[in-house]
């Protein structure tokens, strides 16, 4: 039986591995040496999924991932997750920060701990590493004296932690994406202008309308609100896309400014600790989740999958007289 393989920027102990495990995929987690290598493993069939950092709040887009995605035909993003980023500072056991002359970490991480280094280990030479966990391995191997890495890396490589939760920016976060091969069918939030008469559509369920409010607001304590209750609030977002605009709007809400309207499940998925996602009372669901595929890609295997999404079991029969009945009902 084929075992699912998930490629990520290694070695074990990176933030990318932590992000990969958040997707809760059962299988083998395979460390590689770059985002490009992770995507290439998917393209060549050596891995089913790749997890890559795509954006961070300090430096913006991760260009190595963007370039690799652009250069990998058929790669498709299926999901995303976000991590708050802070580092542990670690040395070999028995050594102090004063003993450190060489700092190893990823170049992006170096910019995120630069002030802490200036205050606590001034004068160290920066040695770039392919990942933060790779930096911890460099210290364990004697190639560096101090590493800024996830705390788990200290356990994996037998290092001593001198400081935890180190980050010059307390709001530093990195977004990671789950990438696989291009799919035949997709779950889509409707309405979506990309869905045309060239597609079959099977509507699965409706989504409740929601609103994101600051977690310390009076609305968060009440637990349910209406648009009328929020009439005097600044509206940072009202819709379902583009997602990046909603994400930016939620950052404003997290700063205790205004609200954002969007489908409730979407808000719950994207909301941070400083935000409370509430159901918007008195409104009909404005969005639906649907299974969508191109009519040109229709096949018996696609129809079998459609049947599974609609509750058909392996013992069910679509009936020889109506081999495309599901598709016919789905046409819009």
- State the Cα angle at 128 between 125 and 129, rounded to 5°: 130
pLDDT score at 99? 92
Specify the range with the lowest mean pLDDT, choosing from 202-211, 288-297, 316-325: 316-325
Helices of type H across the chain = 15-22, 35-43, 63-70, 107-112, 114-120, 132-140, 151-157, 218-222, 243-254, 264-270, 300-309, 325-330
Positions of E strands within 194-316: 199-207, 209-214, 224-225, 235-238, 259-263, 275-280, 287-294
Please name every residue paired with 262 in a beta bridge, in sequence order, or none if there are none. 210
> Which string of DSSP letters, residue by residue, matches 12-31?
TT-HHHHHHHHT---SEEEE
319: pLDDT strictly greater than 50: no
Q: What is the pLDDT of residues 207-249, one digit of tens each?
A: 999 999 999 999 988 878 999 999 999 999 998 778 888 988 9
**Mean pLDDT along residues 187-204:** 92
Please name every residue paired with 170 in a beta bridge, in sequence order, or none if there are none. none
When the pLDDT of each residue in the chain is averaged and rounded to a whole number, the result is: 89
Break the chain into its structural domains and give their ranges: 5-84+173-181, 87-166, 185-205+287-330, 209-280
CA distance 23 to 81: 8
pLDDT score at 309? 83
Position 330 confidence tier, pLDDT thresholds 50, 70, 90: very low
Peptide bond into 242 cis (omega under 30): yes
- Which percentage of the chain shows pLDDT scores above 90? 69
Contacts of residue 38, defined as CB under 8 A and 6 or more positions apart, other chains included, come to 7, 8, 9, 32, 47, 50, 51, 52, 68, 179
Contacts of residue 80, defined as CB under 8 A and 6 or more positions apart, other chains included, come to 54, 175, 176, 177, 178
pLDDT score at 312? 59
Position 315 confidence tier, pLDDT thresholds 50, 70, 90: low
326: pLDDT strictly greater than 90: no
> Which string of DSSP letters, residue by residue, matches 82-122?
EEE--EEEEESTT--GGG--EEEE-HHHHHHSHHHHHHHST
**Beta strands at 49-56 and 275-280: parallel, antiparallel or unpaired:** unpaired
Position 2 confidence tier, pLDDT thresholds 50, 70, 90: low
pLDDT score at 331? 45
CA separation, residue 315 to residues 308, 318, 327 (Å): 11, 10, 20
Which residue has tokens 């200036």? 118
| Interhelix angle 35-43/63-70, nearest 10 degrees | 20
**The CATH number, out of the four listed (3.30.43.10, 3.60.110.10, 3.40.190.10, 3.40.50.1820), of the domain defined by the range 5-84+173-181:** 3.40.190.10
- Contact in structure between 166 and 86 (CB atoms under 8 Å): yes
Q: What is the pLDDT of residues 252-271, one digit of tens each?
A: 999 999 999 999 999 998 88
**The CATH number, out of the four listed (3.40.50.620, 3.40.190.10, 3.30.470.20, 3.20.20.300), of the domain defined by the range 87-166:** 3.40.190.10
CA distance 315 to 327: 20
**Beta strands at 235-238 and 259-263: parallel, antiparallel or unpaired:** parallel
Radius of gyration of the chain (CA): 24
Query: Is-same-fold flag (5-84+173-181; 87-166)?
Result: yes
**Mean pLDDT along residues 284-289:** 89
- Residue closest to 150 by CA, chosen among 234, 212, 89: 89
pLDDT score at 322? 40
pLDDT score at 183? 83
């Amino acid at each position: 039986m084929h075992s699912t393989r998930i490629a990520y920027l290694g070695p074990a102990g990176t933030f990318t591995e932590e992000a990969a495990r958040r997707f809760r995929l059962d299988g083998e987690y395979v460390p590689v040496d770059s985002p490009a290598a992770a995507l290439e493993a998917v393209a060549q069939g050596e891995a089913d999924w790749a997890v890559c950092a795509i954006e961070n709040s300090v430096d913006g887009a991760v260009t190595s991932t963007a370039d690799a995605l652009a250069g990998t035909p058929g790669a498709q993003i299926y999901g995303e997750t976000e991590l708050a980023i802070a580092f542990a500072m670690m040395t070999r056991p028995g050594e102090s920060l004063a003993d450190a002359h060489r700092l190893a970490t990823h170049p992006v991480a170096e910019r995120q701990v630069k002030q802490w280094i200036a205050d606590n280990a001034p004068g160290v030479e920066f040695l770039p590493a392919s990942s933060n966990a790779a930096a911890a391995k460099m210290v364990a191997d004697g190639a560096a004296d101090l590493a800024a890495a996830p705390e788990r890396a200290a356990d994996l490589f037998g290092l001593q932690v001198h400081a935890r939760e180190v980050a010059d920016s307390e709001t530093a976060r990195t977004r990671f994406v789950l990438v696989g091969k291009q799919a035949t069918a997709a779950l889509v939030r409707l309405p979506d202008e990309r869905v045309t008469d060239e597609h079959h559509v099977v509507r699965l369920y409706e989504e409740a309308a929601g609103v994101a409010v600051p977690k310390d607001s009076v609305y968060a304590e009440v637990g349910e609100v209406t648009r009328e209750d929020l009439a005097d609030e600044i509206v940072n977002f009202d819709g379902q896309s583009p997602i990046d605009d909603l994400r930016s709007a939620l950052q404003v809400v997290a700063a205790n400014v205004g609200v954002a309207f969007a489908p409730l499940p979407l808000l719950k998925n994207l909301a941070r600790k400083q935000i409370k996602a509430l159901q918007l009372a008195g409104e009909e669901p404005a969005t639906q989740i649907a299974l969508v595929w191109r009519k040109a890609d229709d096949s018996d295997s696609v129809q079998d999958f459609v049947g599974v999404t609609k509750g058909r079991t392996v013992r069910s029969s679509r009936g020889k007289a109506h081999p495309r009945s599901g598709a016919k009902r789905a046409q819009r």
